[in-house]
């Protein structure tokens, strides 16, 4: 039988049962708690702090922190300079004798240490079209370095340090993948008011001055424009938000083509005030032309100075949404249930936004925040003002400064990290270094929804072999449903981010066009989908493809979009 796709809005069986049954970190959720989700404790220790987190298309997660954080759980045989690490007391306390990066295997629930030779503390990252993580900048000798991690599937891969370097030091900078093939822009950094490209187009290419970063810099508050929020508009221009202001930058002409209104309210949104930002899902129904940005939370004016005197000011409750395309650009304000900073914002397969981790008082920096935000918020962008936020199930583990989160292919949200100290500190502090690994499991992953959940997703490639799907082309998706599809079947493609310091860089969701939906015998369904029209809408690379049937998402399957 043939259906129209209404509201155009698998993986590993073991994982599926883990999601459904193996919950911990508190008592079982009673039916009265309804749609608040659950928490799952995965590991008692990852060995290193999950300060930076990124999901790879091999279904592993890369995590790392700063190389100077002290001894981790994984000792190395050799230092970065090649000298041997011994069992002497000096070497046992030397950070350079320890691994500060791991690869987490989702299905096996195990970690593997990785070697980092320069310090990536407070760095940035973007995925290239072949799934390689391009990791940029860091601290001191790592501030101009470029690192590469290509997941290989045989558990033998490791970090590779590029021989090429950046033009400027990039500490607390942000990066964004661009429509041009495997080209990334890097913006800002501590006392750096420029942007540059990786790779360069010519040997003599340097960085470009960006007056906007000078204008938004608050020298008395630690900058308040570090880790600027970057979002690629579907017209190829770059949205940059720093402190309280934002612009649209044409990178080809090195020209600001639009200056947006200042977001209402006092306080700041960027590091060290550390609010967060997300690009709301793009939709085929307007040909991906409506591009809307959301910014939530942050710190009050004077929060950094006050924290230095052990006074922790209340953070910001406000959230702003603004359409950055078209001629009418205005912030529409809403308010979270409570103040929040140091949090992460992730797009769920349903198109709703999960706000997780963070604190209610203070700002970023060592021991600068108090009153952990233990309850995630769910934000539904389609509901009316005043009805968009839902408070979800609380965790018992504080995730504040240097914590991260990322969406997994099975629908859970991985949560890691937390270290408000210069070194690993586990005792006699308000918030100890946190090495436990958790997953937040949204309510729609519960067993009672399995009858509505699409399963066994298979992308039917031409010729039978896997290859990248060209822009604007049609492709088939086959999946199984126990009952007929609902009147609301949607298909999304999600670009997983590089997450650190409250910002999920390069995160992007597209609601794809379904041209027809056909039911086959035995519960099988075939959908004819249309790939995104261009790399401006979806830069080349790997995306998580998800079917959402009546609000219940499938487990996701990887798909690669690229030029044909």
**Every domain of the chain and the residues it spans:** 2-10+448-562, 13-65+100-445
What are the tens digits of pLDDT across the range 256-285?
999 999 999 999 999 999 999 999 999 999
Task: Return the pLDDT at 5.
Answer: 52
Share of the chain above pLDDT 90, in %: 84
Give the pLDDT score at 224: 97
Q: Given this structure, which CATH class describes domain 2-10+448-562?
A: mainly beta
For the stretch 316-340, what's the b/e string if a residue is b when 16 or more beta carbons lie within 10 angstroms of its beta carbon? bbbbbbbebbeeebebeebebebbb
**DSSP secondary structure string for all residues of 433-456:** ----EEEEE-GGGSGGGGGG--EE
d(CA 423, CA 66): 9
Tell me, what's the pLDDT at 464?
61
Q: Return the pLDDT at 33.
A: 53
Is it true that 2-10+448-562 and 13-65+100-445 share their CATH fold?
Answer: no
User: How do residues 91-132 score in pLDDT, each as one tens digit?
Assistant: 777 888 889 999 999 999 999 999 998 999 999 999 999 999
Distances from the Cα of 54 to the Cα of 131, 185, 506, 518, angstroms? 11, 18, 11, 36
CA-closest candidate to residue 99, choices 88, 110, 89, 112? 112
Q: Is the dihedral of CA 364, 369, 375, 381 positive or negative?
A: negative
pLDDT tens-digit profile of 529-539?
999 999 999 99
Rounded to whole angstroms, the Cα distance separating 357 from 503 reads 12
What is the structure's pLDDT at 25? 42
Q: What dotted CATH number matches 13-65+100-445?
A: 2.130.10.80
Q: Which helix (H) or strand (E) is 318 found in, with range?
A: strand 318-323
Count the neighbouring beta carbons within 10 Å of the beta carbon of residue 287: 12
Question: Which stretch of DSSP H or E encloses residue 336?
Answer: none
Q: Tokens 């004077």, residue? A: 302
Which is nearest to 405 in space by CA: 376, 380, 379? 376
Instruction: Answer whether 217's CB lies under 8 Å from 193's CB.
Output: yes
pLDDT tens, position by position, 23-70: 434 333 333 356 899 999 999 999 999 999 999 999 999 999 999 988
Distance CA 352, CA 336 (A): 14
Q: How far is CA 25 from the centre of its chain?
A: 24
**Which strands make up the sheet holding 344-347, listed edge to edge?**
344-347, 353-356, 377-379, 389-391
Residue 194 in tokens: 């420029």
Task: Report residues of the chain scoring pLDDT below 70.
Answer: 1-34, 80, 463-465
What integer pLDDT is reported at residue 463 of this predicted model? 64
Instruction: Report the first-to-last Cα separation within the chain, whole angstroms.
Output: 32
C-alpha to C-alpha distance for 159 and 114, rounded to whole angstroms: 7
pLDDT at 13: 39
The DSSP symbol for 351 reads S
Structure confidence at residue 89 (pLDDT): 81
Q: Is there a cis peptide before residue 199, judged by omega within 30 degrees of 0?
A: yes
Sheet with 160-165, edge to edge strand ranges:
124-127, 133-136, 145-149, 160-165
């Amino acid at each position: 039988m043939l259906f129209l796709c209404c509201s155009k809005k698998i993986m590993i069986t073991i994982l599926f049962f883990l999601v459904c049954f193996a919950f911990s970190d508190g008592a079982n959720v009673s039916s009265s708690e309804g749609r608040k989700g659950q928490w799952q404790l995965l590991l008692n220790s990852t060995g290193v702090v999950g300060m930076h987190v990124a999901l790879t298309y091999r279904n592993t997660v890369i995590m790392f922190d700063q190389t100077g954080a002290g001894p981790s759980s994984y000792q190395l045989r050799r230092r970065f300079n090649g000298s041997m690490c011994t069992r002497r007391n000096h070497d046992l306390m030397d950070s350079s004798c320890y691994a500060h990066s791991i690869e987490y295997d989702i299905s096996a629930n195990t970690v593997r240490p990785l070697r980092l030779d320069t310090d990536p503390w407070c760095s940035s990252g973007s995925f290239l079209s072949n799934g390689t993580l391009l990791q940029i900048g860091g601290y001191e000798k790592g501030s101009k370095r470029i690192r590469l991690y290509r997941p290989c599937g045989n558990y033998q891969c490791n970090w590779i340090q590029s021989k090429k370097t950046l033009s400027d030091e990039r500490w607390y900078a942000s990066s964004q993948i661009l429509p041009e093939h495997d080209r990334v822009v890097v913006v800002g950094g501590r006392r750096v008011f420029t942007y540059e490209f990786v790779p360069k187009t010519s040997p003599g290419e340097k960085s470009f001055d960006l007056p906007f970063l000078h204008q938004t810099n608050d020298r008395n508050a630690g900058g308040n424009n570090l880790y600027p929020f970057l979002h690629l508009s579907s017209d190829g221009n770059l949205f940059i938000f720093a402190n309280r202001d934002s612009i649209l930058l044409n990178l080809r002409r090195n020209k600001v083509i639009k200056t947006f209104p200042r977001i209402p309210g006092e306080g700041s949104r960027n590091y060290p005030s550390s609010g967060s930002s997300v690009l709301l899902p793009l939709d085929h129904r307007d040909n991906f032309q409506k591009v809307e940005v959301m910014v939530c939370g942050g710190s009050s004016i004077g929060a950094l100075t006050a924290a230095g005197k052990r006074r922790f000011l209340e953070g910001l409750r406000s959230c702003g949404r603004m359409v950055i395309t078209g001629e009418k650009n205005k912030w529409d304000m809403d308010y979270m249930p409570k103040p929040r900073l140091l949090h992460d914002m992730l797009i769920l397969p349903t198109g709703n936004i999960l706000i997780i981790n963070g604190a209610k008082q203070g700002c970023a920096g060592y021991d600068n925040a108090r009153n952990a935000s233990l309850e995630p918020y769910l934000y539904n962008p389609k509901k009316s003002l005043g009805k968009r936020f839902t408070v979800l199930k609380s965790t018992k583990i504080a995730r504040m400064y240097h914590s991260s989160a990322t969406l997994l292919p099975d629908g859970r949200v991985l949560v890691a990290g937390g270290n408000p100290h210069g070194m690993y500190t586990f005792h006699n502090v308000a918030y100890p270094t946190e090495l436990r690994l958790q997953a937040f499991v949204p309510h729609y992953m519960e067993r009672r929804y399995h009858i509505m959940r699409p399963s066994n997703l298979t992308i039917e490639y031409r010729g039978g072999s896997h290859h990248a799907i060209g822009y604007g082309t049609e492709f088939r998706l086959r999946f199984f449903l126990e009952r007929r599809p609902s009147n609301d079947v949607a298909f999304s493609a999600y670009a997983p981010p590089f997450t650190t310091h409250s910002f999920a860089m390069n995160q992007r969701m597209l609601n794809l066009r379904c041209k027809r939906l056909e039911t086959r015998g035995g519960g099988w369904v075939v959908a004819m989908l249309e790939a995104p029209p261009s790399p401006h809408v979806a830069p080349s690379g790997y995306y998580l493809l998800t079917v959402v049937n009546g609000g219940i998402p499938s487990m996701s399957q990887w798909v690669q979009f690229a030029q044909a």
